[in-house]
Structure 1
Amino acid sequence: MRGVRAATALPVAVAAVLTLVVTTGIAHSGQPASPVAADAGSPAPPSNSQAEPVRPGAVIAPSAARAEQEAAVAEVYAAWKAAFVRDDCRDDWYQVYSPDAYEPYVAEGQGYGLVITAQMADVDPDAQEIFDGILRYVLDHPSALDPDLMAGAQDLSCNTTGGQDSATDGDMDIAYGLLLADAAWGSAGAVDYHALAVTRINAIKRSEVHPETNLMELGDWAHPEWTPQLYWGSRTSDWMLDHFRVFGAATGDADWDTIRLAHQDLIETLQDDYAPDTGLLPDFVQDTGTNPRPAQGQFLESETDGYFSWNACRTPWRIGVDALNSGDPRSVAAAQRLDDWIQESTGGDPDQIGTGYRLDGTRYGTGSDAAFFAPFAVAALSDPDSQEWLDALWAKILATDVDPQRYYAASIQLQVMLIVSGTGLTL
């Protein structure tokens, strides 16, 4: 979950921005097309999130009454907000606090915060104020390599620490969150959310998509001369197929279809060749230009870089939500492989889901964590035979309290609840 990028002989100015300590999915967004006003709060058009979401791949849902599901989401959101949303650095900022990351504020967390608060637009009357405060924080901490992306981490004083470069998944969630905000509040007010989203999407393509493989890079710092091995690496939890579809629709850029298909091809290859009995993906993939395969230990973060560990634990969610929202048969098949294996390996008992697996399904992590068990609920939604399993997972999620020292698990748990319950917006 935490790691240090290997030192590389670089010019001093470049090396200064490549010393960022990498954590579980750090990534960011950068300078605005127009600045966000500190008093942004002009009346917004009514949210369209009351419309029934269209989810072509949804074949089951939790058996609990919808009102009960919505109440559960609101309760977990309130606990998440109380534990992790802060405004103690500057009056016009909000930040998502990450006590279990390597720095107290990471871009991944700000991306999660934007997605969550936009999704709660119809529930929390303060959602837009918090969203805009997080957005101002994001815009005020740009990457030094691409100012339309965000620097990776800040200390308790909200000063950027280590390097000032990006990592990919936070950037993607920041852009996605801006599109959710446009859907929730419109872009005719003080902030043009849609324009900011397009700026970030274009920056992601420019600086975080490999020009030859069309796979997501680890960040804007991945470079053939500076970090040659890592330049040909990718993090599977950055393979957000549904985001790629939404980015293409928002920009009219057909390249996002090419990017999505490259990731779907590699998901299929990895499942077939390296995890035929489980469908599990590794945290990282190396040698993407020649022979893509699970990364060796210490490729970027730890000895488990080639295992289903603290990054890849998100892949059942990321693949599952594309299956849910698009109905794409390839995503449905990939999600169902994961769903079939986890049910069989646990005997249908979510308490048996571990916190780390080798790709053959051998469990090496002890204990239970929402970062691992909650994402499997999204993978279950497209499987008509998984109703009992989904209900068991939902019950376990509801029985899991928000731990104020575990931002990562709580943020994943809440986002899964939003998806599974159908609360909020579907783009």
Structure 2
Amino acid sequence: MKNQGKRMWHWKSFVLLCLAIFILPAGSAFAAVNKPFPQHTTYTSGTIKPNNVSQTVMDNAVKTKWDAWKAAYLKPAGTGKYYVKYNSAGETVSEAHGYGMLFTVLMAGYDSNAQTYYNGLYNYYIAHPSSIDPYLMSWKQNSSFQNIEGEDSATDGDMDIAFSLLLADKQWGSSGTVNYLQAANNIINAIMDNEINQSQWTIRLGDWANSGTYNTATRPSDFMLNHLKAFQAATGDSRWQNVTDKTYTIINSLYSGYSSSTGLLPDFVVYSGGVYKPAAAGFLEDANDGNYNYNSCRTPWRITTDYLLTGDNRALNQLNQMNSWIKTKVNSSPGSIKDGYKLNGSTFGSYNSGAFYAPFGVSAMTSSANQAWLNSVWSHTSGSAAEDYYEDSIKLFSMIVMSGNWWTY
């Protein structure tokens, strides 16, 4: 009877183990979450967070926005794959995909399925390579998940995918289904080879932008300075230092030359006559390519994040000028921010877009002089209704940073 009891115990244990393996989401069954949300990162000394609400209220607001974002935009894309639905036609772009990969790794711990989503997004990325370099992502797909409008890349999507893979290595380790660190190194090296102009050390628009005016053009919303530093730390490739230094130089050149009263940066930048200047109307997208529009609205979030994490103050004058200008421009009312400004500060936009007001909350974190303004932007953002994929993504990113929950490699 003793042995029979033992055998029965083993049998029950085996069944329970099989059930556990079957029920638990693939890819997340055994991976510990090393940096669960919320993280409460300590940012650079002297920087601030909203103080009109508690930390718990901020964390819960981020969770609520994430739940809504996930329900609206994170969708299955066939067996073992996920994608980010970026418009009503069910299309996606690599920018959106990078956002999804960042969100899922940052929200792990709160979201118990985060690694399953993340690995599904990773599987979709590797299934849609650029025709120029297989480690880069083809920039756009239709609702049938077919590459459309050219099988080449967009640098911002690749940079966010690469950075997310570094975070995934820290979050779950790289010994599971996906070797995140190896995958990160592959795409980081591909970015350096194809999306960095190695004579100017500028960030190109994509792997296709390697001739003529496009070869030296750049886009300030791609100035993800903390990503660049993480890429250098992960790979040991000192060329990333050149890119970081050049990026800061361009920020200050544009600020001193074209927006000294506002600190605003244009959507696109061209290199002409030995200097970097705002692109002319119609350079790539529309008549506002040289203005502060739907690309550069992200710069207060992207650029400030490096200062918050590293204390690198090379863009601080530009950021502080921008903070001062926008507060005055809208009389400290975030609801009065519009979706489009010329670099001299004149308004051409008409809509109070979350893609525009939320990032100003991140830039406000640089100084205690902005406390009341930061509180207002936080409240306006956290209480905002859903918009579209782009606005909702930028609001969520900005809230993650404002609440102290952004971290780096």
**Normalization by structure 1: what TM-score?**
0.87
- Give the equivalent residue in structure 2 for 1:180: 167
Three-state SS of the structure 2 residue aligned to 1:125 is coil
Corresponding residue number in structure 2 for 1:97? 85
Q: Which amino acid aligns with 1:301?
A: E
How many percent identity over aligned positions?
37
Q: Tell me which residue corresponds to 2:104.
A: 117
Deviation at 1:162, TM superposition (A): 1.9
Q: Counterparts of 1:23-102 in structure 2 under 5 Å?
A: 39-49=26-36, 52-56=40-44, 59-63=47-51, 64-87=53-76, 89-99=77-87
1:42, CA displacement in angstroms?
4.5
Aligned position for 2:184? 197
Q: How does 1:137-152 map to 2 (within 5 A)?
A: 137-152=124-139
Q: CA deviation at 1:41?
A: 3.6
Counterpart AA for 1:266: I
Partner of 1:292: helix, strand, or coil?
Answer: strand
- SS of the equivalent of 2:263 reads coil
Correspondences of 1:241-390 after superposition (within 5 Å): 241-287=225-271, 290-390=274-374
| C-alpha deviation, 1:108, in angstroms | 0.5
How many Å apart are 1:45 and its aligned residue?
Answer: 3.0
What is the letter of the counterpart of residue 378 of structure 1?
V
Q: Residues 168, 96 of structure 1: CA spacing in aligned structure 2 closer, same or farther, 3 A cutoff?
A: same
Aligned with residue 211 of structure 1, among 168, 193, 198? 198
Greater RCO structure (CA 8 Å; 6+ sep): 1
State the partner residue of 1:107. 94
| 325-334 or 179-188, which deviates more | 325-334
Distance in 2 (alpha carbons) for counterparts of 1:370 and 1:318? 15
TM-score by length of 2: 0.90
- Residue equivalent to 1:410: 392
Residues 39 and 406 of structure 2 are in contact (CA less than 8 Å); yes or no, is this contact kept in structure 1? no
Give the secondary structure class of the aligned counterpart of 1:206: helix
Q: Partners in 2 of 1:81 and 1:143 — Cα distance? A: 26
The CA distance in 2 between the partners of 1:342 and 1:359, in whole Å, is 12
User: For the structure 1 residues 279 and 289, does the alpha-carbon distance in structure 2 shift closer, same or farther, using more than 3 Å as the test?
Assistant: same
Does the 8 Å CA contact 1:58/1:324 hold for their aligned counterparts?
Answer: no
Q: Hey, what's the Cα distance between the residues in 2 that align with 1:288 and 1:311?
A: 21
Gaps of 5+ in 1: 1-37
Q: Please name the residue that 1:397 is paired with.
A: 381
How far apart, in 1, do the equivalents of 2:248 and 2:174 lie? 32
Helix, strand or coil at the partner of 2:202: coil
What is the SS of the residue equivalent to 2:269?
strand
Structure with the largest fraction of helix: 2
CA displacement, residues 345-369 of structure 1 (integer Å, 9 cap, x when unaligned): 1111111111000000001000200
Letter in 2 for 1:132: N
Distance, in Å, in 1 between the alignment partners of 2:112 and 2:101 is 15
Asked if 2 retains the 8 angstrom alpha-carbon contact of 1:57 and 1:382, the reply is no
- Cα shift readout 1:31-50 (whole Å, capped 9, x = no counterpart): xxxxxxx9534511341346
Query: Could you tell me whether the CA contact under 8 Å between 1:44 and 1:188 is conserved in 2?
Result: no
CA displacement, residues 241-298 of structure 1 (integer Å, 9 cap, x when unaligned): 1111111111111211111010100100100010010010000001268221000000
Do the aligned residues in 1 keep the contact of 2:102 with 2:160 (CA within 8 Å)? yes
> Structure 1 residues 424, 299: closer, same or farther in 2, change over 3 A?
closer
Mark the structure with the bigger radius of gyration: 2
Letter in 1 for 2:178: V
In the alignment, is the contact (CA less than 8 A) between 1:57 and 1:326 conserved in 2? no
Aligned to 1:132: 119
CA distance in 2, matches of 1:54, 1:333: 22
Contact 2:35 2:109 in 1 (8 A): no
Query: Match of 1:411, as an amino acid?
Result: S
Q: 1:234·1:288 contact (CA, 8 Å) conserved in 2?
A: no
Q: Give 1:211's aligned amino acid.
A: Q
The answer to which of 71-80 and 283-292 deviates more is: 283-292
Indicate how the Cα distance of structure 1 residues 400 and 288 shifts in structure 2: closer, same or farther if over 3 A, else same: farther
User: Residue type matched to 1:426 in 2?
Assistant: T
